Structure 1
Amino acid sequence: MELLLLGIYAFFVWLLCVKLKWIPWNIVTQVIAVIIPVVALTVLILTLNVIAPASADVRVIKYTIPIVSQVRGRVIEVPIEEGNRPVKKGDVLFRVDPKPYQLEVNTLTAQLANAQAGQRETEESLKAARGKVSETQALGAQASGRLRDVSASLELARKRVAQYRELVQTGAGSKFDLEKAETDLRSQEAKYDEAKAQQSQASASEVQAVASVQQVQQKLGAKVDGEYAQVAQIRAQLENAKWLLEQTVTRSPCDCTVVNLQLRAGGFVAGFPINPVVTLVEDSGQMVALFDQNELHKVASGNEIELALETIPGKVIKGKVDSIIWTQGQGQLQANGSIPNTGALPQVPGRYAVKFHISDRDKELFIAGGAAGHAAIYTDHLHEIQILRKVFIRLQSYLFYLVLKL
């Protein structure tokens, strides 16, 4: 572009001084004619580098996604094709034989049903055991009441025997009445022993019933989210088995392009994370341009940007500045215990990356990963002379048509 401006300037100097001779062509005008473009171009270039910085290092970065099977087994279908073929998010990449995983699901489903039936049976046993506890408690209460009644009758019989003995000793009582009272006393003592034995039996039955309840509760075990532990464990195993069954079908996680497809039907996948079988490249990616450190003090998010890529000659792509990545490798010290080496010569300052977004009108363009080119950022200052930078970037885009090699 500088040569173009110099050519235009030289044309007007020749026209005015040589052709039309409106200005005398002598030593003074010759010196002035040389100084003017040098000073003007210097001021222009320095100003443009601040208000419309340019970079010859544009990089298109696209992330790759290595696809690893979550399950091991024999591959039965690979419906995608290699050769940079596009796939949509959710498209099937390959299928693994699902039979072993379906059998595991069926087995665990049966185990879960059996465990749930066993849980219901045990819960019914718990209800019966608790009913038995209530029954034994009622029998115990009944036995205790009878024991109290017999104890009262026994105490009365003892008092009567004592009274009749005292009357017989004084000669005022009948010996027959004494013998009858003693017989009643022995009858009441037998009834007391029987009532006490019943009370002990009821207490033992209650203890046994309570132990039975505790045994059933222990068999049921603790609960997990309102479900007994054994059933919850089998349900968790079943959910995991269902998830593994779903993973026998591997789908694309994004709108991507297939590269490095080495998998074929009949192959075996082992499910190792270090063994990708397909590599996908995202259709969308990031675009960055690298600038010298003193070029970015006027740049802000939202500034207009124009790109010229070598893969799309003659096309100027528009976008907006997203952000400046204000860090780079020279600002990092590795935590290795060594003292940083300053070196014999000063280190060349590293550049900073500017990240930007493509405008809606150019989003449908195919932009290859790794594509390089030139970029220009137009700040909010001196828009009048930024037109020169726009001319530069358009000329550069057309120069990409030239393939300069033998």
Structure 2
Amino acid sequence: MIVFLTLCYVAILALLIRLRIIPLNLWWKLSPIMWMLVLLVVLFLPMQWGAPSGPVNVYKSVVEVIPNVSGEVIEIPVRGLEPLKKGDVLFQIDPEPYQVKVDELQAQLAETKQNVERLRASSEAAAATVKNTLAEIEVAKADEASSVAAIDAAKAGLQEAKGNKQKAEAVVADLGVQVAAAQREYDRILSLVPSGVATKSERDRGEIQLTSLKSQLNTAQVDVRVADDIITRAGADVTAAEAAATSAGLRVKQFVEADLVRVRAEAREANLLANSMIGDEHTSVATAHSQLAKAQFDLEQTTVRAPSDGYVVGMSLKPGQRVAAFPVRTWMSFVPTDEVIVAVGIPQYVVRHVEPGQKVEVVFKLHPGRVFSATVEKLIYINEQGQLHPSGTVPPTPGVGQSTIPFGVRLSLDKNDEVNITTLPGGAVGTASVYTKNARATHIIRRVILRMETWMNYIIP
């Protein structure tokens, strides 16, 4: 641009000399050099930070298509570089093994639900068993209490029988004395009857009294024998009642210490198994649901779809090839068309003057004669020279002769009615100028230079 302006100055100067407006002396001969120095100092040096410029590159993301499942590719309905919509099928993996897995897990889910019903039925049965065991314990305790009462009653009967026997034995002893006395009196009367000392009526009365006393004695002796029988039976009743009480006590102890503990443990285990819940769902059913959901997801992933609008590049995948969910192996490259990144490289010594929101003009080799308006979106304060790669080696130290790599500035292109910005191909190059708030007088020179460049793009490849 300095040369161009200098040539313009020389042309005007030559015209003025030819028209004899100014003389051709040493001053005017040296004036082009002075003109160049003035342009350099007044315009072109301030223009470096007032309107910094740099090369532009268009970037597009390349999505590495890696399926989430492994299998054999059976269909590839897309073609390379053909436009695709989001959700279009890129390729199809054989879904049969994954469909079999889904069917298997659906059957397992149905079986799990049935098992839950069986667990709940078992829990109810165990609870009923505990209830029945408690009822049996109550019956056994009642039997034990009844046996204790029977023991008390039998012992009371035994004591009563023993008292009756003692009374009967006392009566027998008393009647024995009376019978012996009546016998002696009767014998005496019998001995006196022949002599007439005793009359027959006295004999008859003595006989009747003796017979009556003997009858009473026999009755009393029978009462003693009956009392013995009653005592024997009462003792047997006491023994039987004690045995029954012991048996009832053992039954209570057995239920309390063995059966009740066991059935309660079984009931608790059955209740835990039947009521192991996550929210409103049994844990086993929830597990089966999650496994089925995972299998259904895998089945859906056998159809690999376009993540966005775009196209496939480098199509080398063929039906019959086996693919795997291996993150270091790419099976297809997909280029989205919904995002275009435009960045300009700004030299480090002027990047401090660049701020987000500043106006930018961009020209592309792809579109000669056009100037695109843009805005500074953000500054990228890192470049490949400043990146530390994870490694076991020590990074190289900065050297004196190292090159100065520009920093990237991301641009946001304004809407253009003539050119669809999203169709800019990745790798398109050009030049951009950022118009800062410094040295505004130099902006016009930069605009002229930029437009000269875009017109030169017609003839300079």
Give the shorter-chain TM-score range.
0.7 to 0.9
Gaps of 5+ in 1: none
Q: Is the 8 A contact 1:69 1:276 kept in 2?
A: no
Q: Residue by residue, what CA displacement relative to the aligned partner does 1:248-279 show, whole Å, maximum 9, x if unpaired?
A: 11001122221111223344334433332221
Report how far residue 346 of structure 1 moved: 3.5
Verify the 8 A CA contact 1:257 1:280 in the aligned structure 2.
yes
Number of the residue aligned with 1:391 = 448
1:348 lines up with 2:403 in the alignment: yes
The equivalent residue for 1:136 is: 133
The 3 A distance-change label for structure 1 pair 193 and 336 is closer
- Indicate the larger mover: 188-197 or 281-290: 188-197
User: How many angstroms apart in 1 are the aligned matches of 2:368 and 2:32?
Assistant: 36
Alignment of 1:238-277 (within 5 A): 238-277=292-331
1:303–1:320 Cα contact (<8 Å) kept: yes
Secondary structure of the residue aligned to 1:274 is: coil
Aligned length: 400
Is the contact between residue 58 and residue 427 of structure 2 (CA under 8 Å) also seen in structure 1?
Answer: yes
The range that moved more, 206-215 or 394-403, is 206-215
Aligned to 1:154: 151
Deviation digits for residues 93-112 of structure 1 (CA, Å, limit 9, x no counterpart): 11122222212211211121
Q: Deviation string for 1:123-160 (max 9, x for gaps)? A: 11111111111121122123223323432442454356
Distance 2:71 2:395 in 1: 52
Aligned to 1:44: 43
Q: In the TM superposition, what is the alpha-carbon distance from 1:291 to its structure 2 partner?
A: 1.6
Partner of 2:28: 29
Hey, what does 1:369 align to over in structure 2?
426
Matched, 1:237 2:294: no
Instruction: Give the letter aligned to residue 96 of structure 1.
Output: I
2:79 equivalent to 1:95: no
Say which is worse superposed, 26-35 or 238-247, in terms of deviation: 26-35
AA aligned opposite 2:100:
L
TM-score, with length taken from structure 2: 0.77
* Partner of residue 56, structure 2: 58
- The residue that corresponds to 2:334 in the other structure is 280
- Structure 1 distance, partners of 2:446, 2:11, is 22
Taking the TM superposition and a 5 Å limit, the aligned residue runs for 1:108-123 are: 108-123=105-120
Matched position secondary structure for 2:83: strand
Aligned to 2:199: none
Instruction: Report the CA distance between 1:360 and its aligned residue.
Output: 2.3
What is the CA–CA distance in structure 2 between the aligned matches of 1:265 and 1:329, rounded to whole Å? 39
**Retained in 2: the 8 A contact 1:311–1:368?**
no
Alignment partners' CA distance in 1, 2:289 and 2:69 = 20
Judged with a 3 Å threshold, the aligned counterparts in structure 2 of structure 1 residues 259 and 333 are, in CA distance, closer, same or farther, namely closer
Cα displacement (A) at 1:314: 1.6
The 1:69–1:330 alpha-carbon spacing in structure 2 relative to 1, beyond 3 Å, is: closer
Q: CA RMSD in A?
A: 3.0
Q: Quick one: structure 1 residues 5 and 190, their matched pair in 2 at CA, closer, same or farther if it must change by over 3 Å?
A: same
Shift of the 172–368 alpha-carbon distance from structure 1 to 2, 3 Å rule, reads: farther
- Paired position in structure 2 for 1:322: 377
3-state SS of paired residue (2:97): helix
1:13 maps to which residue?
Answer: 13
Q: Which amino acid aligns with 2:76?
A: V
Distance 1:256 1:288 in 2: 21
**Equivalent position amino acid for 1:291 in 2:** I
Indicate the residue corresponding to 1:359 in structure 2. Answer: 414
What corresponds to 2:196 in structure 1? none
The answer to whether the 8 Å contact 2:58/2:425 transfers is yes
Per-residue deviation, 1:304? 0.9
The percent of aligned pairs where both chains have the same amino acid is 29
Deviations 1:211-267 (A, max 9, x none): 432553576695555544443333232112111110111001122221111223344
**Counterpart check, 1:298 vs 2:353:** yes
1:207 aligns with 2:227: no
Structure with the largest fraction of helix: 2
Q: Could you tell which deviates more after superposition, 182-191 or 110-119? A: 182-191
Gaps spanning 5+ residues in structure 2: where? 172-222
Distance 2:439 2:358 in 1: 13
TM-score w.r.t. length of structure 1: 0.87
Alignment-mate amino acid for residue 420 of structure 2: E
Q: Give yes or no for the alignment of 1:196 onto 2:195.
A: no
The letter of the residue matching 2:114 is: A
Q: What is the distance in 1 between the residues matched to 2:315 and 2:32?
A: 64
Counterpart-to-counterpart distance in 1, 2:395 and 2:317: 49
